[in-house]
Amino acid sequence: MKSKLFCLILFLAPLSLIAQKNFDDYFTSGVFRFDYLLSGTSNTVKVTEVQQKKEPFWGGTLHLSTNAPTLGNYRFNVKDQVTGTLLFRQGFSPLFQEWQATAEAKKMERAFYQVLRFPFPKNKVVVEIECRNREGHFEKIYSTDIDPFNYFITKELPVKNDFSVLRKSGDPSKKVDLAILAEGYKKEEMDKFVKDATRLTDSLFTVEPFFSLKDEFNIYALKTPSEESGTDIPGRNIYLNTLYSSSFYTFNIARYLTLTDMKTVHDQAASVPYDYVIVLVNSSEYGGGGFYNFVSVCTVDNFFAPKVFIHEFGHEFAGLADEYYTSEVAYEDFYNLKIEPWEPNLTTMVDFKSKWGALIDPTTPVPTPRTAKYEKKTGVFEGGGYMTKGIYSPTQDCRMKSNKPNSFCPVCQEAIRKAILKCTE
């Protein structure tokens, strides 16, 4: 018996050594940046490469964490070209994906600029881009071989932006690193920008779980000046010369503030290590926008700016969905009610066991009526994700639903906590 056990250990030893491959076996210092256009219509999608680039500062984890559940409507994979080993994976939800759900996308084709970033590889890799189909499964839409020794990979030095460190908690590879960019601030308004960035990030750390885990964040405020103050408001014929060309009236929704110039955004952010980019817009108008692992945008001088800032970062950081269902939106048939949404704070009840059932009191009925009796309870309340029927959210109100609550519901808090721990592992 002892000899058989000894042989089994010897047999398994090489497998365990393979499993212990670490980050340094595959990646070196710096960032590989892959820029491309995502184009198509409501039911087509195409990827067109624009450029490959090396940047100096990787702010992400130094672990090969590829087994975590993938959130987002898209994801990309980085694989070793020789062995096919998955080295890096990240989900994301671009503005293009929202546009595909608009009426306009049924009539015409549009292209949106995209940027993928991952640790710079030591050897040849394959980059795959996948899109989640209507049934909730990922389908490969693009694949390309990357040679890190290709001399056409641009290695120009990043823009040298002056920046203020708003919070420094430790090694970027073990912290959540935020790059906050100034939009619609003139050069002489940079003191205002730093004060605005400080005020809004301070507001983030007043709510859980950010309050308890604030020491897991590094925050940089990058002073990126514009020629004019403010932002575009097409519905009022206001057009200003700003660095990132941000604009209200996205998809013809007055309050929807976004930007599409992701090339300039990442060019300007590259002077610091970062995981997430936030763009602050020097305006008193109400509005913003946020997209998972992509970007979040909001104005700074509106009364509700701190709450909008927190809400939009919830989208970008943890993939949280909008829980409102009565506000004006441009989307048509956004969710497939026959499958479970990937967002952690919505359910169609198709696979509710994968969601927040453990947080519900056994005496709370499921589904849960929107009555005063359950106003403070975690349950399963019909309405959310822009739809009044067939989709459910965890509480009657939350920071992801309206401007009334000051905090996130327990389900959203848990999703945020997981996202923080994933960045700091």
pLDDT tens, per residue, the chain with 425 residues: 444 433 433 334 343 333 446 899 999 999 999 999 999 999 999 999 999 999 999 999 888 767 766 899 999 999 999 999 999 999 999 999 999 999 999 999 999 999 999 999 999 999 999 999 999 999 999 999 999 999 999 999 888 899 999 999 999 999 999 999 999 999 999 999 999 999 999 999 999 999 999 999 999 999 999 999 999 999 999 999 999 999 999 999 999 999 999 999 999 999 999 999 999 999 999 999 999 999 999 999 999 999 999 999 999 999 999 999 886 665 667 899 999 999 999 999 999 999 999 999 999 999 999 999 999 999 999 999 999 999 999 999 999 999 999 899 999 999 999 999 988 87
- Three-state SS sequence of the chain: CHHHHHHHHHHHHHHHHHHCCCHHHHEEEEEEEEEEEEEECCCCEEEEEEEEEEECCECCCCCCCCCCCCCCCEEEEEEECCCCCEEEEEEECCHHHHHCCECHHHCCCEEEEEEEEEEEECCCEEEEEEEECCCCCEEEEEEEEECCCCCCCECCCCCCCCEEEEECCCCHHHCEEEEEEEECCCHHHHHHHHHHHHHHHHHHCCCCCCCCCHHHEEEEEECCCCCCCCCEEHHHCECCCCCCCCECCHHHCCCECECCCHHHHHHHHCCCCECEEEEEECCCCCCEEEECCCEEEEECCCCCHHHHHHHHHHHHHHCCCCCCCCCCCCECCCCCCCCCCCCCCCECCCCHHHCCHHHCCCCCCCCCCCCHHHCCCCCCEEEECCEEEEEEECCCCCCCCCCCCCCCCHHHHHHHHHHHHHHCC
Q: What pLDDT does 425 receive?
A: 77
Q: How is domain 23-146 classified at the CATH fold level?
A: Immunoglobulin-like (2.60.40)
Structure tokens at 188: 């002489």
Structure tokens at 271: 């002077």
CATH dotted code for 163-318 = 3.40.390.10
Residue whose structure tokens are 């293009």? 96
Cα 279 from Cα 38, distance rounded (Å): 21
- Other C-beta atoms lying within 10 Å of the C-beta of residue 299: 27
- Locate the domains of the chain by residue range: 23-146, 163-318
Report whether 246 contacts 232 (CB < 8 A).
Answer: yes
pTM above 0.85, yes or no: yes
Report whether 139 contacts 166 (CB < 8 A).
Answer: no
